[in-house]
Every structure is written in structure tokens, then in C-alpha cells.
Amino acid sequence: MRAIVLVGGEGTRLRPLTYSVPKQMLPVVERPMLERTLEHLGAHGIDDAVLSLQYLPGAFQQAYPDGVAGGVGLTYVIEPTPLDTAGAIRYAAEQAGIDSTFVVVNGDVLTDLDLGALVEFHRSRRAEGTIRLYPVPDPSRFGVVTTDPDGRVRDFIEKPPADQAPTNLINAGTYVLEPAFLERVPAGRRVSVELETFPQMARDGTLFAMPEASYWLDAGTPEAFLRANFDLVDGSRGGVPYPGALLHDGVWRAGTARVQGEVIGPGFLGEGVSLEQGATARSSVLGSRTTLSAGSVVDSSVLLSGVTVGPGARVSGAIVGGGARIGEGCDVQAGSVIGFGVRLEPGRVVAGERVPE
């Protein structure tokens, strides 16, 4: 079976990291988010994934020049102009020659969904389209879906006020679709699957939905990106967070690290990480070749590869892009996002700000 992976968005919520790197290529515990998505698809019988590209398409092509990632073959399709979700699906399907049942996923969604069960549900209902639903405490940021007892969708309500949502089951961004879906999408213009195509299918009675409560995370915000990393190292998701990593005293290590300071788990140390005497890493993910200088503290943060944290500096609840240098005595506070290659001058306080290169 084939899949379309939507990776065309600009990732505005994760700026400044996404000024130069598509969000799906940002590493979650040292592996690009996209590879984790593709690996999950491959484990459920997907052998070819069509990447629907628009923003920074060259980043994907350069990363996987042989056309394989996560064990899945890749087909690259670049939108000539932004076509929104349904428009992107139609364009990618037509360019890739998809003519049978196919799967669509959002490239920034991490999940442990049993995709085979969703496909079986779709076929048993003889549906034109089937959506995976997921329960959330606050559905107001998502598309809310109500169904009949057999799973036929009654209403598709995009981002209702919290006090007006008829259910807490949301559209979780994984779909099984028939080629007939493509005929509903007007060519050559922006078309939203959430606002236009799915509501039309619901009115026609051809759209179904299956609730499923296994792990799901939209990793497109700084808070969610942090959680995506932490969930892999603290046991919230099973398995080894990075190939070959070993767990010791609550801390995963991938390769050799030089630790003279203190590491407090849960956490992760990439290859070549160095903690000098008096440095502390607590509940954090440190990418390869990251250095924590004497007296520095990194707490509940994700540092991508090649970061240097200067003497006495503190980073708490933040994301730091690869190659950044945090100057001596800096205080990078919760909610901050530091871009790739940024140099923070000594003593600077970053209070929940986004600092571009």
C-alpha cells in the first residue's frame, strides 16, 4: 500500500528552528521526525511514501538522495504553489499515479496507531474515506468529529469553542482514502480537507471514523516538540529511543560521552557529549557533540547537536538549535527557542523568547 505524507507546511510555530530546516526534519532524540513517521508506516505495510513537498523541498531530497528513509521508498512531489491539505493530497496522488486505496498522514504527527486496524475498519465499512479519531482534554484547537454508532461521520466541526464542542474526539491526521476522494477536490486552487472536503463527504454519508487511543502527538509546537523528545526517554513510549542506545541509571547513551559532571535522568546523551566538572544535565536530551561547561545547568531542555553551554550558564525548559553557543552566565528560561548557530553574548537573559540566527 502507498501513503502520502504531508510535509509542505512552513512550521511557523517552531520558528526560528524552521527558518532553515523543515519541521519534519528536526531531530527527535537525534533522528528526524520524518524518519520516525516513515518507520511506523513501514511497520504497517507501507512500502512507498509520497512526500508532498512545498517548503524547503531540497532539504528532504538532499537528506535522502537514494529515495529511501525509515525503510520506506520515497517519491518526491513538489507543489507549484501552496494548495492546502486536500489540494496537496490530490496533486501528490495524481503526480505519483496513485489509483487504489491509500493512506494520508501529517508529517509532524507521531503515533503508535495500529494502522492495519484502521485500514480493516475502512474496508469493512466500504468507506470512501476513514479518519482516525483521538480523545483530547481540550478539543478547541482541532477538528472535532461526531459519528453514528457504526462510525459514520455526522459532523465535522473545525476548532469549536471549548464549551461548545459536542465531543472530545478529534481528527488525528491519519486517513485512509479511496481514489474517488480525489474527484471531489477541485484542481488548481487551495482546498482544505478539514473545512471543505470532509464536511462534504460527511453530508454524503461516505466518511467514517474510528476512535483509537494509542499514543498520538502533534509535535508542531515548542511544548509538544519537547514532549516528543521526553516521551521517548522517560518510558512514556516503549522501546529504545535511538538505535544502539543503552540505558544506565535512567539515562540513555548513544556512543561515548565524557561525563565529569552530573547527569540526572530521565535523559539522553548523544555521541561525543561532554559534561565538564560541576556541570549538570537534568531530565534533558543532549544531541551529539554538545558540551556543558563547568558550573552550567541544563534542565528539562532539548539541545540539538553541537551546542556549547558556557560556564555558569543555565538553560531550563528550552529548545536550543544545533551549533548554538550559550555564553557564560546566560539564563535561557522556559519557553525559549534558540535558532541554529545562534551566539548568545555572556550574561544574556532570554525569558521565553525566540532568538533567530
Q: Which helix (H) or strand (E) holds 158?
A: strand 153-158
Between CA 271 and CA 223 the distance in angstroms is 25
Of 65, 6, 59, whose CA–CA distance to 37 is shortest?
A: 6
Q: Are 314 and 293 in contact (CB under 8 A)?
A: no
CA dihedral defined by 210, 213, 215, 219, rounded to 10 degrees? 70
316 bridge partner residues: 299
Distance CA 53, CA 94 (A): 14
State residue 230 phi and psi, 5-degree precision.
-65, -35
Place of cell 535522502: 64
Residue tagged active-site, from 13, 44, 159, 227 = 159
Are 123 and 116 a contacting pair, CB within 8 Å?
A: no
**Is 23 among the catalytic positions?**
no
Active-site residues, by number, are 159
